[in-house]
């Protein structure tokens, strides 16, 4: 057993290394054809998933889940670091109005769409709650790559903190209602209180970790020769601890408290960003960016591989036609809900015209957060035929969103002139050069 465990560990290291190398190549190849590099990472992941199925190595991909958990922590922390309250103090009302409006319409339009096409309303409500979630990874990757700045970016980044809270609350209430209907029992107080406790404890623990992290950096002298090492180790420890606590949860009097893997590390980043000096914040951002780049390649590649494996497992017991119809309905109505809700919310908040016009396109990516909620729904509704259906609809929709939504996101940020001109010019020059260059031997 020990030898097998060691072999699996070394195989994991080998495949991570190969994934990073091939992922880097795929990303640059896709960018050469003016397609976002993260789409290349996803395509690579889908190919890896297919190979894993052929060679029956599913256990290896399961071990990759720790990579995705850590990557989510880094993404959420980075989003939190961008949420500087001094910068958005004049936009707080605007952000709240837009977030609430787009979340509500994504929820209600998706739920009604699923109901109109044949699903029970309580199951439609669960899918509607999942539809609220937007994947922050593509947004973080593209905004940093293009060095975007402007009203759309300033609204887009803080929106995630509020949206994640709404998604947790709506989902918790919707799935509690669905379980009560399917089991013909009343809604339990435990299930109703669970999403509220998740938010409260995620915030509280995130703030505590953030303040401890900030204190460590604060007492470190800028003249200390080991300052860079202390900064890097402190950032790693803060993120890894928040990831571990968020994914483990804890128990109070035999009642398990779930925590948000996105919200908790995001609150750590928010706390540090708003209680530290500009110089300390800049150093942490630089350190996290260096670590984050390879993690992003592995993250999107692993998501692609996981989706292929999970869908293949579930399709064996499902009808293709119903799955295709329900997935297309979910994708179409969610897109309409996001676009309409964002436009209406921006109108109500009297936002800049570019926000009214382009924000909806930026909110279409969906991946790990939605998949996590779908897994919870599958577990709670495992005694029904709808648990697996919700999971597969979300997984297949994720493939569609991750392949095509980054195109809309990049289009919106470039079209509204928020991308850095120097970066765009450099990328344009790269696109005109041949990807493969052969030189004569001397």
User: Residue for token digits 């003016």?
Assistant: 34
CA-based torsion, 209, 211, 214, 216: positive or negative: negative
Q: What is the pLDDT of residue 2?
A: 46
pLDDT top residue among 253 and 73: 73
**Distance in angstroms (rounded) separating the CA atoms of residues 169 and 166:** 5
In whole angstroms, what is the distance from residue 244 CA to residue 33 CA?
39
Strand partners, 250: 257
Query: Into which CATH architecture does domain 70-301+321-432 fall?
Result: Up-down Bundle (1.20)
Which residue is associated with the tokens 């303040």? 211
Q: Which of 409, 370, 369, 351 is closest to 98 using CA atoms? A: 351
Contacts of 224 (CB under 8 A, 6+ apart): 230
Structure tokens at 406: 């980054």
Residue 438 has pLDDT above 50, yes or no: no
Pick from 301, 370, 436: nearest CA to 126 = 370
Position 407 confidence tier, pLDDT thresholds 50, 70, 90:
confident
* Mean pLDDT estimate for the chain: 81
The helix-helix angle for 65-82 and 136-145 (nearest 10°) equals: 60
pLDDT category at 426 given cuts 50, 70, 90 is: low
Grouping H, G, I as helix, E, B as strand and the rest as coil, residue 383 is coil
CA 295 → CA 69, 286, 301, 346, 411, distances in Å? 10, 15, 10, 34, 24
**Distance of alpha carbon 411 from alpha carbon 383, whole angstroms:** 43
pLDDT band at 441 (very low <50, low <70, confident <90, very high): very low
pLDDT of residue 1: 44
Confidence of residue 425 (pLDDT cuts 50, 70, 90): low
Question: What pLDDT, on the 0 to 100 scale, is given for residue 424?
Answer: 61
pLDDT in tens, 82-106: 777 776 677 778 888 999 999 999 9
pTM listed for this prediction = 0.82
Please name which of 363, 375, 407 lies closest in space to residue 307, comparing C-alpha atoms.
375
The better pLDDT of the pair 116, 409 is held by: 116
The DSSP result for 288-344, as a single string, is HHHHHHHHHHHHHHHHHHHHHHHHHHHHTTS-HHHHHHHHHHHHHHHHHHHHHHHHH
Give the mean pLDDT of 30-56.
80
pLDDT tens, position by position, 315-358: 655 667 778 889 999 999 999 999 999 999 999 998 888 888 88
Biggest distance spanned by C-alpha atoms of the chain: 81
């709808």: which residue's tokens? 386
Q: Tell me, what's the pLDDT at 111? A: 95
The reported pLDDT for the residue numbered 442 is 44
Please calculate the CA angle 107-112-115 and round it to the nearest 5 degrees: 130
Q: Which is higher by pLDDT, 316 or 308? A: 308
Compute φ and ψ for 24, nearest 5 degrees.
-60, -45
Give residue 428's pLDDT band: very low, low, confident or very high (50, 70, 90). low
Phi, then psi, of 135 in degrees rounded to 5: -75, 120
Cα separation, 110 vs 333, whole angstroms: 5
The pLDDT-based confidence of 429 (bands split at 50, 70, 90) is low
Given a cut of 50, whether residue 373 has pLDDT beyond it is yes
């Amino acid at each position: 057993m020990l030898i097998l465990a060691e072999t699996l560990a070394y195989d994991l290291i080998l495949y991570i290394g190969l994934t990073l190398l091939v992922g880097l190549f795929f990303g640059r190849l896709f960018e050469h054809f003016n397609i976002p590099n993260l789409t290349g990472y996803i395509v690579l992941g889908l190919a890896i998933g297919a190979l894993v199925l052929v060679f029956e190595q599913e256990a290896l991909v399961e071990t990759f889940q720790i990579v995705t958990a850590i990557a989510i922590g880094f993404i959420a922390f980075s989003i939190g670091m961008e949420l500087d309250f001094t910068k958005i103090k004049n936009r707080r009302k605007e952000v709240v109005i837009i977030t609430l409006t787009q979340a509500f319409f994504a929820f209600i339009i998706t739920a009604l769409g699923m109901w109109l096409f044949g699903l029970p309303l309580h199951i439609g409500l669960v899918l509607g709650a999942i539809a609220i979630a937007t994947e922050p990874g593509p947004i973080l990757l593209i905004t940093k790559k293009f060095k975007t700045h402007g009203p759309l970016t300033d609204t887009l980044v803080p929106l995630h903190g509020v949206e994640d809270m709404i998604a947790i609350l709506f989902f918790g209430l919707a799935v509690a209602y669905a379980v009560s209907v399917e089991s013909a029992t009343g809604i339990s107080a435990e299930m109703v209180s669970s999403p509220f406790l998740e938010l409260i404890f995620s915030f509280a623990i995130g703030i505590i970790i953030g303040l401890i992290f900030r204190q460590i950096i604060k007492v470190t002298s800028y003249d200390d020769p080991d300052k860079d090492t202390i900064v890097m180790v402190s950032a790693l420890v803060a993120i890894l601890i928040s990831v571990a606590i968020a994914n483990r949860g804890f128990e109070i009097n035999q009642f398990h408290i779930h925590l948000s893997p996105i919200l908790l590390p995001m609150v750590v980043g928010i706390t540090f960003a708003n209680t530290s000096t500009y110089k300390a914040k800049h150093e942490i951002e630089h350190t996290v960016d260096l670590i984050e780049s390879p993690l992003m390649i592995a993250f999107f590649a692993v998501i692609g591989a996981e989706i292929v494996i999970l869908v293949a497992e579930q399709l064996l017991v499902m009808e293709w036609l119903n799955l295709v119809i329900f997935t297309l309905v979910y994708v179409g109505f969610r897109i309409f809900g996001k676009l309409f809700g964002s436009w209406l919310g921006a109108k109500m908040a009297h936002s800049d015209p570019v926000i009214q016009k382009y924000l909806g396109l930026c909110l279409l990516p969906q991946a790990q957060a939605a998949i996590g909620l779908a897994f919870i729904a599958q577990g709670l509704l495992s005694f029904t035929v709808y648990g697996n259906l919700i999971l597969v609809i979300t997984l297949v929709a994720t493939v569609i969103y991750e392949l095509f939504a980054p195109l809309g996101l990049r289009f919106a940020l470039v079209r509204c002139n928020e991308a850095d001109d120097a970066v765009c010019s450099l990328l344009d020059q790269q696109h005109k050069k041949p990807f493969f260059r052969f030189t004569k031997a001397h």
